[in-house]
Amino acid sequence: MTSSVFTEQYGRCRELLVQYRQAKSMTQVQLAEALNRPQSFVSKYESGERRLDLVEYLEIANALQFDPCELIRLISNEVLSEPTIMDEWEVTAQELTILVRENPSLRGMLFGYVAELKLREIVSAFPGIRAIKKFDDHDRKKKGDLHIIYHHRAFNVESKSLQTSQIKFDAENQTWSGKAQVDASDSRIVTLPSGRTLKTTLLLRGEFDILAVNCYEFNQTWHFQFARNRDLPCSSYKKYSPEEQDALISSLIPVTWPPRSPFHSDLRVLLDEMLEAGEGSDPSEIGLDC
């Protein structure tokens, strides 16, 4: 199941919830009163700013007096009849597979986006997740592939993949090792803690909160490991000064499975640690609100 915040199906679900409310001639304020919630609760889930959980959905269905299964069946039927991109382009799954395998750059790009999708699937199922958002890739002010609100704090997560050429399997110890490429897709101007600027492809300490490395290439299953930005190794590139090295994250970071420090296999454990330490940011600072 894909992250409900990002699918067309969830958008359709929101549209239907609005229609059900309007069919009852209820305002957002009146529905909120029936739910014993603030008006902003209704406004945010109808606009997509806030993700509903199952219990909340059932409460809304009860307040609006509609069958919750009816909405699900309606969306399911629409999804089944919706044409896929392969239908639109008139290509078969086999032809698309050949294109991806014959064009490594295309495979790498698609693989990265699929990894982000899988990451959203995992995160969206966590209790305590109040909102999930992906900002425009071209917005350089919003670094991070996935922005989430966990309980009352916002965290941005940078998603990266393993380099296939670096992967090794230790049959004796049943362990995997490799390296994740952790840098930007192109060079840009960054500001160092001293205020100096530098043009680089490397990422900064503090530029995001959590690194998520997808480990699909280890054993062909979708799983991730996670580390704090601050715990990642610094760059050792001799081209940079000591100040620059300390401020920049290494472009290649060793990764193993099972994970070793600073990585965690369970993002919830890491998030709870960060909450306890007072890390994360105010959701309103990055344009998110719960």
Pairing of strands 210-214, 153-161: parallel
pLDDT band with cut points at 50, 70 and 90 for residue 285: confident
Spatial separation of the C-alpha atoms in residues 219 and 243, rounded to whole Å: 38
Spatial separation of the C-alpha atoms in residues 60 and 20, rounded to whole Å: 10
pLDDT band with cut points at 50, 70 and 90 for residue 125: confident
Report whether pLDDT(163) > 50: yes
Pairwise pLDDT comparison (248 vs 140), residue with the higher score: 248
**Residue 80: per-residue pLDDT:** 55
Those residues with Cβ within 8 angstroms of residue 260's Cβ, 6 or more apart along the chain or in another chain: none
Q: At 180, phi and psi to the nearest 5?
A: -100, 135
**Residue 243: per-residue pLDDT:** 94
Q: For residues 192 and 206, is the Cβ–Cβ distance under 8 A?
A: no
Q: At which residue do the structure tokens 């199922």 appear?
A: 125
Question: What are the b/e assignments for 199-230, b being 16+ CB within 10 Å?
Answer: ebebbbbebbbbbbbbbbebeeeeebbbbbbe
Domain ranges for the chain: 4-81, 86-290
**Residue 3: per-residue pLDDT:** 43
Amino acid (one-letter) located at 137: D
Spatial separation of the C-alpha atoms in residues 209 and 225, rounded to whole Å: 14
Concatenated DSSP letters of 19-69: HHHHHTT--HHHHHHHHTS-HHHHHHHHHTSS---HHHHHHHHHHHT--HH
Q: What is the pLDDT of residues 12-49, one digit of tens each?
A: 888 889 888 888 888 889 999 999 999 989 988 888 77
Q: What is the pLDDT of residues 58-85, one digit of tens each?
A: 999 999 988 888 888 888 776 555 677 8
The residue ranges of DSSP E strands in 96-203, in sequence order, are 129-133, 146-150, 153-161, 168-170, 175-181, 183-191, 197-202
pLDDT band with cut points at 50, 70 and 90 for residue 288: low
Report whether pLDDT(123) > 70: yes
**Residue 2: per-residue pLDDT:** 39
Q: What percent of the chain has pLDDT over 70?
A: 90
Q: For residues 27 and 154, is the Cβ–Cβ distance under 8 A?
A: no
Pairing of strands 183-191, 129-133: unpaired
- Domain 4-81: give its CATH superfamily: lambda repressor-like DNA-binding domains (1.10.260.40)
Q: What is the pLDDT of residues 180-233, one digit of tens each?
A: 999 988 889 999 999 999 999 999 999 999 999 999 999 899 999 999 999 999
**Residue 124: per-residue pLDDT:** 79
The CATH code belonging to domain 86-290 is 3.40.1350.10
CB atoms within 10 A of CB 42: 26
Token output for 96: 């698309």
